[in-house]
Structure 1
Amino acid sequence: MDRTERFYKIELLLRNRGQVSFEVLREELDVSPATLKRDLQYLRDRMDAPIVYDRGDNAYRFAQGGGGRNGAAHQLPGLWFSEAEIHALLTMHQLMAGLDDDGVLARHLSPMMDKLQAMLGADAGEARELMRRVKVVGTARRRAPSRYFELLGSALMRRQRVWLRYFKRSDRSESVREVSPQRLLHYRNTWYLDAWCHASDGLRRFALDAIREARPLDSRARPVALKDLESRLDAGYGIYGGGAKIRWATLIFQPDAAQWVAHEEWHPQQKSRWLPDGRYELQVPYSDPTEIAMDILRHGDNVRVVGDAALVRTIAERMARAAAQYV
């Protein structure tokens, strides 16, 4: 490890253990006695670290109060994490790994994770054990080619336009688009790109796994305010949230299903209430019935749509066609 990493590790060891012997410090840092002496001297003289040697305990510790020359609690400049924060970051990394099919994010974050583990010293094994005890299971996952994720992420940060060859599943056709990336979205185990499409002159959402080819362009991306992006693409239900006309679906869940649904968020602006007989009423906005119909159908006879004639008809027709397959 480099000298900066050693400085942070020395501070972390002293803060977490209270006092540490010279030999333990040297073993933890894997350096020569001369190097460790120089590091301790540099921390005292240049970084104002209140490190003292306790002859009685034959160990190094922070002076009483842990203050520097100005009396304030000492802390190295730059990014600082406590042991608890490091554990939290390592756990978060494991959660992100569950969303990272092709290892794109993990590959770029790995050096930082190694440094965080190194800062934990003797507790690095505990950190690795903790990471193995966090598991993310995704179903019906659609894998997106990693080269497009990286390319689109880079274009988004650089504010570059991108040329796409895109496959449209609804009619099994391909089209060529020039887009200005605005946001990457991870939704239900799948990555999407929200972008301004210059061919259709509007905001569109593209599934990354449906992108057949992509390349960055030299031209500058068209800027779109985040509030405009959210109002246009997030107002309705799920991934089909876009649409000018927003309608509200009213769903009545039977008491058994209500115990689970009452703890779910179907939409950030949903409205809900318990009915006197133990049923649960949920109201959610939508513009396109495709996804909300799928979520309603998975509850079978435990839910009933009321008030919205068009949605009622859609659900009834879908259930009738499904039942007809088992006759």
Structure 2
Amino acid sequence: MNQIERIYKIENLLNQLGVVNQSRFLEELEVSSATFRRDIEYMRSRFNAPIEWSAEKKGYHFVNQGIGPRFALPGLWLSESEIYALLCMQNLLKGLGTGSLASHIQPISKRLTSILNKGTQAADELEKRIRFIQPAKRLVQNKCFEQIATATISRKKLSILYYTKSTDQTKMRVISPQVLTYYRDNWYADSFCHEANGFRRFAVDSIREVKVLDEASQAFTPEETIAAIGSGYGVFAGEAKQMAKLKFSKTRARWVAMEQWHAEQTSHTLADGSYVLEFPYADHRELLMDILKYGADVEVLAPTSLKAAVMDEIQQMAKLYGQSAEQSVYS
């Protein structure tokens, strides 16, 4: 029986019997007298439980209860480790660039902090000892994010002013947001676009203006949305039509073998220790970046189009650095 169970047991015995001697507690809880005394003190210090020992009655009982039900523990009871976990999640939420959401749980956070600060460690140490590092995270306007999240949950349409980075153009769209996705430190709204009459994935940081419309969104289940977005690689939506086949060096295989590149990937290790990874993809742009970061430790085996895209990028890089090197020699 863990401490949480013991505390609930103590409360139940006191409510049922009124006065309970220590021997009965030790028998029911199956603990030592020292552990029992710590549990009683824990209830007093953490939850202001009005438990006292009565020499006259020769037992423990609740006092100063007045009219109504006796002392009761909160419906949601958390251990110290669970409280730490929740506070860590709040810090993570702040780091996601959605401070407006974090503000809604601030009252709970204050209560959790107050409980922990009565213990042996201060809760504010979490701020100093736990870090969330998110390189290349794109900034999101909290107001926009909250409106998008509200519309997604309440099933409302959105009018958005969306900036497309690839074309450097901005356009108004009406969408029915279905699922909010957090991917590689950035938020995306998987939505049904009424102009395109199909599903699209919108980067939240590219939404310049947003308005929640007083009109119900077109209804799809999360499963239908995910299926419609497709099984493409990474953030690029679409139906996967090609299979990538990559071969990693023996050294790099130690890391890649522990990674999941795609939900439908397959892999095997060759006799020389190199690692072969295969998975479907729809668009090579993000995949190209992931391949290039491994440099000479990865080789594209298939398809030919992906291999050609990698070779073209390497040639463009060689030209860039070749020119830079030549200029530095003569400067």
Which of residues 235, 238, 243 is equivalent to 2:234?
238
Aligned ranges 1:118-157 → 2 under 5 Å:
118-123=114-119, 125-157=121-153
1:64-213 correspondence to structure 2 within 5 Å: 76=73, 78-99=75-96, 101=97, 103-123=99-119, 125-213=121-209
Contact kept? 1:91, 1:130, Cα under 8 Å: yes
Could you give the per-residue CA deviations for residues 174-226 of structure 1, whole angstroms, max 9, x where no partner exists? 11111111111111111111111101111111111111111111110111122
> Larger C-alpha radius of gyration, 1 or 2?
2
Cα 1:139–1:15 change in 2 (3 A) is: farther
TM-score (norm 2): 0.77
Structure 1's unaligned 5+ residue stretches are 1-7, 30-35, 41-50, 63-73
1:264-308, CA deviations, whole angstroms, 9 ceiling, x for partnerless residues?
111122111111101011112210111001100111111000120
- Cα distance, 1:245 vs structure 2: 4.0
Q: Is the CA contact (8 Å cut-off) linking 1:180 and 1:196 kept in structure 2?
A: yes
Amino acid at match of 1:256: T
1:283 and 2:272 are equivalent in the alignment: no
1:321 Cα deviation from its structure 2 partner: 0.6
Cα distance change, pair 276–59 in 1 and its aligned pair in 2 (3 A): farther
Corresponding residue to 2:290 among 273, 280, 295: 295
Partner of 1:228: 224
Q: Which amino acid aligns with 2:285?
A: T
What is aligned with 1:315?
310
User: Aligned partners of 1:76, 1:135: CA distance in 2, in Å?
Assistant: 33
- Structure 2: unaligned runs, 5 residues or longer: 1-7, 12-34, 63-70, 323-331
**RMSD of aligned alpha carbons:** 3.1
Instruction: Name the % identity.
Output: 35
TM-score norm. by structure 1 comes to 0.78
Q: The residue matched to 2:190 in structure 1 has which SS?
A: strand
C-alpha distance in 2, partners of 1:16/1:179?
60
Aligned residue in 1 for 2:320: 325
3-state SS of the aligned residue for 2:300?
strand
Q: How many residues align?
A: 283
| Structure 1 equivalent of residue 25 of structure 2 | none
Q: Deviations over 1:40-88 (max 9, x none)?
A: 3xxxxxxxxxx552659x99689xxxxxxxxxxx973622222222122
1:250 aligns with 2:245: yes
Aligned residue type for 2:89: M
CA 1:125–1:276: 2 relative to 1, 3 Å: same
**C-alpha distance in 2 between matches for 1:249 and 1:59:** 73
Aligned twin of 2:39: 18
